[in-house]
């Protein structure tokens, strides 16, 4: 049985996504534990792989039909790469692209697939993946039996910086399968959503408005605190569902994953879907009058004071 680890590199418009570097960092850890090497699979057309310095080598398929993501052509190319590398474990992002590839690869290679993974490690020589199910209500551990397996990893599970390494990995191209020229699925165009007024993933300080703010008329109080902190306002799902803030401000499983230095949760109950999007913030401060609110389970500091008493006083103090 081989001990190599393969990471499927995901890229869009010529740029590798953050989750690619998350997987490379974890892949390096696994390869060191198994005594194997780390390979990055790059599927595309004239893709610059120099950013993948964490990998020992890059194995790719370069073909015009791979210029834009197409589940049919990319799966066919990935099967060729996996057959060439023959890794012990293949790491795929649990994204819209990755979900199109992981299940098909599992069938084509007759290899077990563990999806929605939050962690992957080697224990007593076995590869063990921990998955999050039912919005975080259940955590399941799976051992990948056999000579190889596939793990589909949730974005944000590992630090991306661990996979950002300088270097020039050797690049090896695998011949493109003949089926790429006769693909039935054709890419016609990329429709991008309109940009939001604020990119909450780029802010070091976030103040989150939850159901406890009661009304959109109270948003200015939250915005004033965020301004005093030099941050931005984000929201839990009920705020967005009520159309008090746009979808681009939503944090959680159905929104965005954020990792700010400071996350202030105001009137946020802390449903599993929300916690999934912000639990890795460096400092979490929760304000909720319900002392049993789940948000307190992840908060570093918390208070049950009424936010409408606390926030104006805190804002005045900051100013």
Q: What are the residue boundaries of the structural domains of the chain, listed by start?
A: 5-182, 200-318
Helices and strands (DSSP H and E) totals, the chain: 7, 16
Pairing between β-strand 170-173 and β-strand 57-62 as defined by DSSP bridges: parallel
- Predicted pLDDT of residue 145: 84
Distance between CA 105 and CA 79 in Å, rounded?
6
Extended beta strands in the chain, E state: 5-8, 11-12, 15-16, 38-44, 57-62, 89-93, 113-123, 126-133, 138-143, 149-153, 170-173, 205-209, 232-235, 262-266, 283-287, 301-303
* Sequence-separated (6 or more) residues with CB below 8 Å from residue 236: 208, 209, 210, 211, 250, 251, 252, 268, 269, 271, 274
- Predicted pLDDT of residue 73: 95
Distance between CA 301 and CA 85 in Å, rounded?
48
Would you say 259 and 281 are in contact if contact means Cβ atoms under 8 Å apart?
yes
Q: What is the CATH number of domain 200-318?
A: 3.40.50.1220
- Whether 5-182 and 200-318 share one fold: the answer is yes
pLDDT tens for the chain, residues 1 to 319: 579 999 999 998 889 998 999 999 999 999 999 999 999 999 999 999 999 999 999 999 999 999 999 999 999 999 999 999 999 999 999 988 999 999 999 999 999 999 999 999 999 889 999 998 876 678 899 999 888 999 999 887 888 889 999 888 999 999 999 998 888 988 888 876 666 678 898 899 999 999 999 999 999 999 999 999 999 999 999 999 999 999 999 999 888 889 999 999 999 999 888 998 899 899 999 999 999 999 999 999 999 999 999 999 999 999 8
- The pTM of the full predicted model, rounded to 2 decimals, is 0.74
Distance between CA 41 and CA 43 in Å, rounded?
7
The residue count for the chain: 319
Find the farthest-apart pair of alpha carbons in the chain and give their distance in angstroms, rounded. Answer: 68
* Domain 5-182 class, CATH top level: alpha beta
* Sequence-separated (6 or more) residues with CB below 8 Å from residue 104: 71, 75
Which has the closest alpha carbon to 180: 48, 70, 85? 70
- Predicted pLDDT of residue 191: 78
* Sequence-separated (6 or more) residues with CB below 8 Å from residue 63: 45, 73, 77, 176, 180
Distance between CA 74 and CA 108 in Å, rounded?
13
């Amino acid at each position: 049985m081989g001990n190599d680890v393969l990471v499927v590199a995901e890229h869009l418009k010529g740029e590798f996504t953050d989750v690619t570097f998350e997987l490379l960092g974890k892949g390096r850890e696994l390869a060191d534990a198994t005594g194997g090497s780390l390979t990055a699979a790059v599927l595309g057309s004239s893709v610059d792989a120099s950013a993948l310095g964490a990998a020992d080598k890059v194995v790719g398929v370069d073909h015009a039909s791979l210029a834009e993501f197409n589940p049919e052509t990319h799966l066919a190319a990935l099967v060729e790469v996996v057959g060439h590398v023959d890794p012990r474990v293949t790491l795929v992002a649990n994204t819209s692209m990755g979900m199109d590839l992981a299940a098909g690869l599992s069938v084509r290679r007759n290899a077990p697939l563990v999806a929605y993974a939050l962690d992957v490690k080697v224990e007593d020589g076995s590869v063990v993946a921990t998955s999050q199910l039912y919005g975080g209500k259940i955590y399941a551990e799976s051992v990948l039996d056999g000579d190889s397996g596939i793990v589909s990893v949730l974005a944000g599970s590992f630090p991306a910086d661990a996979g950002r390494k300088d270097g020039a990995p050797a690049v090896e191209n695998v011949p493109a399968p003949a089926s790429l020229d006769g693909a039935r699925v054709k890419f016609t165009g990329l429709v991008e959503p309109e940009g939001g007024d604020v990119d909450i993933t780029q802010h070091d300080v976030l103040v989150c408005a939850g159901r406890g703010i009661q009304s959109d008329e109270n948003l200015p109080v939250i915005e004033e605190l965020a301004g005093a902190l030099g941050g931005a306002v984000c929201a839990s799902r009920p705020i967005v569902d009520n159309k008090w803030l746009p979808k681009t401000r939503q944090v959680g499983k159905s929104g965005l994953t954020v990792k700010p230095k400071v996350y202030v949760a105001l009137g946020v109950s802390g449903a599993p879907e929300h916690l999934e999007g912000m639990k890795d913030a460096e400092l979490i401060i929760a304000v909720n009058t319900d002392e049993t609110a789940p948000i307190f389970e992840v908060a570093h500091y918390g208070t049950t004071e009424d936010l409408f008493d606390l926030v104006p006083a805190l804002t005045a103090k900051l100013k």
